[in-house]
Amino acid sequence: MRSVILLAAAGAASLFTTAATAADMRLAPPPPPPAYYGPPPAEDFGGWYLRGDIGMTNTSGKLHVNAYDTLPANSLGQYGHGFDSGMSYGLGIGYQFNNWFRADITGEYRSRVRFSGTDFINVAAWGFNGSDVYDGGYKSWVGLVNVYADLGTWWCVTPFIGAGVGFANVKTTGLQDSGVFNIGGGQTSASYFAEGASKTNLAWALHAGLAYKVTNNFTVELSYRYLNMGKAVHGFGQSFDGTNAGPSSFQYRDLTSQDVRVGMRWTCCEVPPPPPPPLVTKG
């Protein structure tokens, strides 16, 4: 009898334990899913882009007169030589390789800028002095291959620097030389005109600026550019009375320009980011 009572008690205890375990399983929350490593964020870069630029030009250079190369030292003074400001209009196509490096090819037209200046000549040993007043100008086409380094982005603003190399086709638009000379106590005046001519030179540029990303596909730029275009020449020339005809001796040397430009870039063909790596689970 005692054995029957012990077996019944053991069975009741086992049943109670099983019921309590089942109740605990119903009340306990399910275990969390296993942790995994998500894919890294995709890099933000754009691939091919089109660009357009408009700017103000500020040309520097010096008029050189080959005919005056034989003058004695310190007998020639040049005053007020300079160019007016002008405009530039450019288009280009480029490629954004990653989030800091890009390159493009650009072509631009630079409007005519006027040149003016005065030379004074005084050669006491020859009994000769006089002055020349010049009025001329040039216009140009420039093509460049440029590379840029984007230096990081803060509040959608990206500072950048760059460099470019290419060509400059410089077309002079004619130069008028109005001179007054004193020779042996007598004064005479003369006017000379040199035709325009075209010359193509190696050109190079340095860039610096700020880019603002308006949308994922549209960026505006404000930039400074230093541009070196080489030299320009003039063609056939003659005095207004028909004399002194022949190749002219006028050149613009060391033509450089400091430009302020506003640009726009439109990313036209986005490059898809690389596929994410496979998920890695742990546990």
Sign of the CA dihedral 105, 196, 131, 122?
positive
Is 59 contained in some domain? yes
pLDDT band, residue 29 (cuts 50/70/90): low
Is 101 contained in some domain? yes
pLDDT tens, position by position, 39-55: 555 455 569 999 999 99
- 3-class DSSP string for 135-172: EEEEEEEEEEEEEEEECCCECCEEEEEEEEEEEEEEEE
Is 98 contained in some domain? yes
pLDDT band, residue 7 (cuts 50/70/90): very low
Cα separation of 283 and 281, whole Å? 7
Contact in structure between 150 and 158 (CB atoms under 8 Å): yes
Of 233 and 30, which is predicted with more confidence?
Answer: 233
- In 3D space, the residue among 217, 196, 205 whose CA is nearest the CA of residue 265 turns out to be 217
Is 210 contained in some domain? yes
Is 22 contained in some domain? no
Residue 237, both tokens: 């020339």
Is 194 contained in some domain? yes
Amino acid at 30: P
Is 5 contained in some domain? no
Domain tally, the chain: 1
pLDDT band, residue 169 (cuts 50/70/90): very high
Of 245 and 231, which is predicted with more confidence?
Answer: 231
Residue 190, both tokens: 């003369």
Tell me the average pLDDT of the chain. 84
Place of tokens 């216009």: 139
Please give the residue range of the domain that contains residue 230.
46-269
CATH code for the domain in which residue 91 is found: 2.40.160.20
Is 95 contained in some domain? yes
